[in-house]
Amino acid sequence: MSLLVICDHDRGTLAEASLEALAFGRPLAILAGLEMTAVVIGEGAEQAAVDLAAHGASTVHVASHELLTDFGPEAWGETVAQLVRASGTTVVLACGTDRGNEVVAHVAARLDQPFVANCRSVEPDAGDWTMTRVQWGGSLLEDVKLTADVVLVTVAHHVVEPALADVPAAGVVTSFRPDLDAALARTVVIDRVVLTRGVTLATAPVVVGGGRGVGSAEAFGPLEELADLLGGVVGCSRAVTNNGWRPHSDQVGQTGTRIAPEIYIASGISGAIQHWVGAMAARNILAINTDSEANMVARAGHAVIGDLHQVIPAIIEEIRRRRG
Amino acid sequence: MRILVCVKRVPAPGARINVTADGMAVDSAHLGFTTSPHEECAVEEAVRLVGEHGGEVTVMTLGPAAAEEQLRYAASVGADRFVLVPISEVDWDPQRTAAALAGSIADVESVDGAFDLVLFGNESADAGGFQVGVRVAHALGRPVVNGIKGVDIADGVASARREVDGGFEVYELPLPAVLGVKEGINLPRYPTMKGRLASKKAEVAVDERSVEVGGQVRVRLHRPVETVSETVILGTGPEAAPAVVDLLEELGLLP
Ligand SMILES: Cc1cc2nc3c(=O)[nH]c(=O)nc-3n(C[C@H](O)[C@H](O)[C@H](O)COP(=O)(O)OP(=O)(O)OC[C@H]3O[C@@H](n4cnc5c(N)ncnc54)[C@H](O)[C@@H]3O)c2cc1C
Ligand SMILES: Nc1ncnc2c1ncn2[C@@H]1O[C@H](COP(=O)(O)O)[C@@H](O)[C@H]1O
């Protein structure tokens, strides 16, 4: 009986997030008295399988088929469902990335089993398992009880850090050939478009955020100038994207981007919970707000109370002055 | 071109989310409600596609009777037909929700024929189960891809784009197909006065479904522990600038 970890890879390069799932799965497998196995799917899978023993997989199933040319949620889900049936797997685990959640949802639909997405903790039990999962993008937690023949879960991204196993496992590689209908190829990636971008919102060391308080698209000029001076980028709230002042790719929050900069300068943003969940991983937060009672001010480490249209130009001027 | 969109009514909390005393629901006593954001964009995308290709948009929701409000909002931005699957509980688990929606969709289709496209949000804003759309697509036997940020329809094929690190992936799904869309695919329009008037007259079909509960059962909701720190006020107005720049220097952000 085994706990199977679905390991994602991009044309042979193992996804970091899968290492989180393996790190989460190791103690869980021990608690549940299961062997931890892994599956890697499609072209490049063999290459991606190399490190899995060191991360604790006793068996690594390498699934290949001529339809598995690239990522395809339906084909991957069907492959895992067949492997579960063929291998005595009682628990399936993946990391709760876009792909992880999507593939497990397909497995669940095919096995007609419940699927608990984005867990922070999972407690095995002889009867019903219990888990604590993320709701509202992290603003709320839900404890659930699960009645299932096969336990299907994802662990929320970034809940655990990737870590090598204390003792490497055998990592015996076995090949698995699923029986796939040609129709499943209808949702395999057929093309990729690469966009070369500079610093992205998700990885920028400095994010200068603007909310409704900025007032217009044009008024973001000084925020961009400050971001440029600090080697950062501009972010914004949903009020801003809804007004069409900035593109959605700048939005921070539950339905936008999660940021983790050294500092987030949040100006004219009230700090609604859906915005906050996207910003809370910032190491430092400076709020600039006319309202000293604003939620963003209460949650920030530092704040300036005042009109951002005066404060931001003054900061720019001060930086220029010190640089000479 | 006939498009169906499944939307969910969710509370719109402000600074924090409070839970009812029994821990079973979000305390919405003082809150407004809204359509889950990804789904608001799904409605906009459906209206846009029908504007381009002709046809009609049907919007379906499973929720309390009050979820009619979200259907009427969809009417105000251009949707044509509406189905409410009423429930008396706060929420249904994902398996049960999917089974009910799939049943209701199949019933509509048995009268009017298959929808060319069924749209979902990538995930619901509250429960975030990441599965209802996939389950419904599987029940209907249709191809489905989630996380879609762009779609074009031509010659019976939906060409869909999905964002990944450093670019996007392209999928081509033969119609009828199902897509889970993400906010950012478009900028939803605001209701016009004419739309608002039309929404008052919109007819909402009510389709009661009886479906077994699924295997995932809520025990309680609770807020994550938050570490609250004192806020250091660096000053008031532009005079605070030197203190801000001191802070940036301290953090090593001013090379
Ligand atoms: C399901 C769901 C998901 C959501 N997802 C997101 C998300 O991903 N990201 C997101 O941002 N929001 C999201 N929202 C919306 C969120 O609830 C808020 O509506 C939004 O974040 C408010 O944006 P804001 O702070 O810019 O505007 P407001 O709340 O209007 O705040 C404006 C702030 O600016 C201050 N201000 C005004 N003028 C000035 C000035 N001259 N100088 C300084 N300060 C000034 C005001 O005091 C106030 O604090 C979501 C909502 C829901 C229901
Ligand atoms: N109660 C509901 N009524 C209508 N559609 C729903 C409901 N719950 C979920 N959905 C749809 O399914 C998608 C995924 O939901 P979830 O699996 O809860 O993340 C949502 O974005 C909606 O489009």
Q: What pLDDT, in 10s, does the model give residues A76-111? A: 999 999 999 999 999 999 999 999 999 999 999 999
Burial B149-171 (b: 16+ CB within 10 A, else e): bbbebeeeebbbbbbbeeebbeb
Interface probe for A, chosen from B28, B253, B254 (most Cβ of A below 10 Å), is: B253
- pLDDT (tens digit per residue) in A55-67: 999 999 999 999 9
Q: Is residue B148 part of a domain?
A: yes
* Tokens matching residue A241: 């994207």
Q: How does the average pLDDT of chain A come out, rounded?
A: 96
Strand partners of residue B206: B84
* The pLDDT of residue A10 is above 80: yes
CATH number, residue B152: 3.40.50.620
Residue A199 confidence (pLDDT)? 85
Nearest ligand, measured from the Cα of A142:
2
Q: Where are the beta strands (DSSP E) in chain A?
A: 2-7, 9-10, 13-14, 35-41, 59-63, 89-96, 116-123, 129-135, 140-146, 151-156, 172-176, 191-194, 206-210, 233-236, 263-267, 284-289, 302-305
Q: Is residue B221 part of a domain?
A: no
Measured between CB atoms, does B213 come within 8 Å of chain A? Answer: no
Which residue intervals of chain A are DSSP H helices? Answer: 16-32, 45-48, 73-87, 98-111, 221-229, 238-242, 273-279, 295-299, 308-323
* Helix, strand, or coil (residue B233): strand
Question: From the list A109, A254, A272, which residue is nearest B14 (CB)?
Answer: A272
Q: Is residue B193 part of a domain?
A: yes
Number of neighbouring beta carbons within 10 Å of residue A141: 20
pLDDT above 90 covers a percentage of chain B that reads 96
* Helix, strand, or coil (residue B192): coil
Strand partners of residue A16: none
What range defines the domain where residue B105 resides?
A: 2-206
Q: Which residues of chain B have a CB within 8 Å of the CB of A231?
A: 253
User: Does residue A25 contact residue A58 with C-beta atoms inside 8 Å?
Assistant: no
What gap in Å lies between CA B230 and CA B196, rounded to an integer? 46
Residue B46 confidence (pLDDT)? 98
**How many helices (H) and strands (E) are present in chain B, helices listed first?**
6, 13
ipTM of the complex: 0.97
Residue B23 confidence (pLDDT)? 96
Q: Is residue B58 part of a domain?
A: yes
Measured between CB atoms, does B220 come within 8 Å of chain A? Answer: yes
Window 236-275 of A, Cβ < 8 Å to B: 238, 241-242, 244, 247-249, 251, 254-256, 262-263, 270-274
Q: Is residue B13 part of a domain?
A: yes
User: Does residue A38 contact residue A61 with C-beta atoms inside 8 Å?
Assistant: yes
- pLDDT (tens digit per residue) in B181-225: 999 999 999 999 999 999 999 999 999 999 999 999 999 999 999
Q: Is residue B224 part of a domain?
A: no
Interface probe for B, chosen from A11, A149, A302, A307 (most Cβ of B below 10 Å), is: A302
From atom 21 of ligand 2, which residue's Cα is the shortest distance away?
A: B121
Cα angle A62, A152, A37; round to 5: 35
Question: From the list B168, B220, B241, which residue is nearest A193 (CB)?
Answer: B168
Residue B166 confidence (pLDDT)? 79
Half-sphere exposure of B68 (CA within 13 A, CB side): 12
Which residue intervals of B83-215 are DSSP H helices? Answer: 94-112, 132-140, 193-201
Task: State residue B125 phi and psi, 5-degree precision.
Answer: -70, -35
Q: Is residue B25 part of a domain?
A: yes
What gap in Å lies between CA B115 and CA B99, rounded to an integer? 17
- pLDDT (tens digit per residue) in B122-171: 999 999 999 999 999 999 999 999 999 999 999 999 999 999 987 899 99
Question: From the list A113, A140, A187, which residue is nearest B171 (CB)?
Answer: A187
Burial B53-92 (b: 16+ CB within 10 A, else e): eebbbbbbbbbbeebbbbbbbbbbbbbbbbbbbbbeeebb
* The pLDDT of residue B255 is above 80: no
The mean pLDDT of A261-282, rounded to a whole number, is 97
Residue A141 confidence (pLDDT)? 98
What gap in Å lies between CA B43 and CA B76, rounded to an integer? 11
Nearest ligand, measured from the Cα of B216:
2
Residue B226 confidence (pLDDT)? 83
How far does residue B216's CA lie from ligand 1's centre (Å)? Answer: 34
Interface probe for B, chosen from A102, A267, A291, A305 (most Cβ of B below 10 Å), is: A102
Q: Is residue B40 part of a domain?
A: yes
Q: Where are the beta strands (DSSP E) in chain B?
A: 2-6, 9-12, 32-35, 56-63, 81-86, 117-121, 144-154, 157-164, 167-174, 177-181, 204-206, 216-222, 232-236
Residue A324 confidence (pLDDT)? 82
pLDDT band at B227 (very low <50, low <70, confident <90, very high): confident
pTM: predicted TM-score of the whole model, two decimal places: 0.97
For residue B159, the one-letter residue type is: S
Measured between CB atoms, does B150 come within 8 Å of chain A? Answer: no
What is the domain count for chain B? 1
